[in-house]
Amino acid sequence: MPAFTKPRGRPPALTRVVRQTRDGKDVTVADAIVEAIRAGSFIESAAAANGVNKATLHDWLRTGSRVQQRLLNDGARRGDFTRKELLCAEFSDAVGRAFAEATTIEVATAAQLARGGITETETITRTETLPQGPPKVTTTTKQKVLAPDGAMIRWRLSKREPDTWGRERLELTGPDGGPVELSLVEKRQRLLEGLEVLADKLASAPDDLLTLVPSAPPEETPDAPE
């Protein structure tokens, strides 16, 4: 296994600084992507927003997953990898944690909406123009408690216990559980519908495509008796 070597040239793109926090801490590309995922963004959108294309993103994740596999299961040591490989491993682990945190928050929010009881505050501001003097501004605040969301409850139950609460399916069978037999009228109607669709496609096809369709050979006429 190759020993750890100090990389030459430009530092890995994962460590490129994209901004700084209010307290002066550097935020790298990897940090920004992980923050966006934790906030609910899709991973490829988070990467694109920070100047990382899809191919590079998945290359980082594959490299990180491979390094983690070797460290955990193959007895490898950190000194067996380059700096970039170790950064990819840290990035891959952080992405997985960010996804888990975002999912936990969204599941908790869905549970709250399903159960109801959330207090919603609505503020309405009205401005009335008076003939004399400044306009009159009136602010009204209303609060209401949301009722349980039946659709959200059914959705959560269908995901948690799909065998019990999943969508019901209706299956039609013929006699003795066999296939459903169509009548001659139904078969004729389906055939005509299929021919109409085919005729529409041929009518809209370019002329050069139609010339590729082989024409039927001319019928042979029997020789006249001598």
Cα R_g (the chain), whole angstroms: 33
pTM value is 0.58
Please check whether residue 173 is in contact with residue 180, taking contact to mean a CB–CB distance below 8 angstroms.
yes
Looking from the CA of 190 toward its CB, the CA atoms found within 13 Å total 6
Per-residue pLDDT of the chain (226 residues; tens, 9 = 90+): 344 344 444 556 899 999 999 999 999 999 999 999 999 999 999 999 999 999 999 999 999 999 999 999 988 999 999 999 999 999 999 999 999 999 999 999 889 888 888 888 889 998 888 788 788 888 999 888 888 888 888 888 888 888 888 766 556 566 666 666 667 677 777 777 777 777 776 666 555 544 444 455 555 555 555 4
The answer to whether residues 88 and 67 touch, using CB atoms and an 8 Å cutoff, is: yes
Map 18-81 to HEC letters: EEECCCCCEEEHHHHHHHHHHCCCCHHHHHHHCCCCHHHHHHHHHHHHHHHHHHHHCCCCHHHC
